[in-house]
Amino acid sequence: MATKIIGQGTAAPIPQQQEAARALSLEQLHQILQTIAGRADIARQVLWHAGRDQASLGAAAEAAATIMTSIGAIADGASGADIIGDADCWNYGPSFAGDREEVRHG
Encode pLDDT of 38-75 as tens digits. Answer: 999 999 999 999 988 999 999 999 999 999 999 999 99
Per-residue model confidence (pLDDT) at position 62: 96
Query: Is the residue at 14 inside a domain?
Result: no
User: How many structural domains are present in the chain?
Assistant: 1
Tens of pLDDT, residues 78-104: 988 888 888 888 988 877 767 655 545
Domain assignment present for residue 97? The answer is no
Higher pLDDT, 22 or 86: 86
Top pLDDT among 21 and 75 is at: 75
State which residues form the domain around 63: 23-86
Q: Which 3 state secondary structure label does DSSP give 4?
A: strand
Length of the chain: 106
pTM: 0.67
Closest CA to 72 of 58, 88, 60: 88
Kindly state whether residue 78 falls inside one of the protein's structural domains: yes
DSSP run (H or E) holding 74: helix 54-78
Q: Examine residue 29 and state whether it is found in any structural domain, yes or no.
A: yes
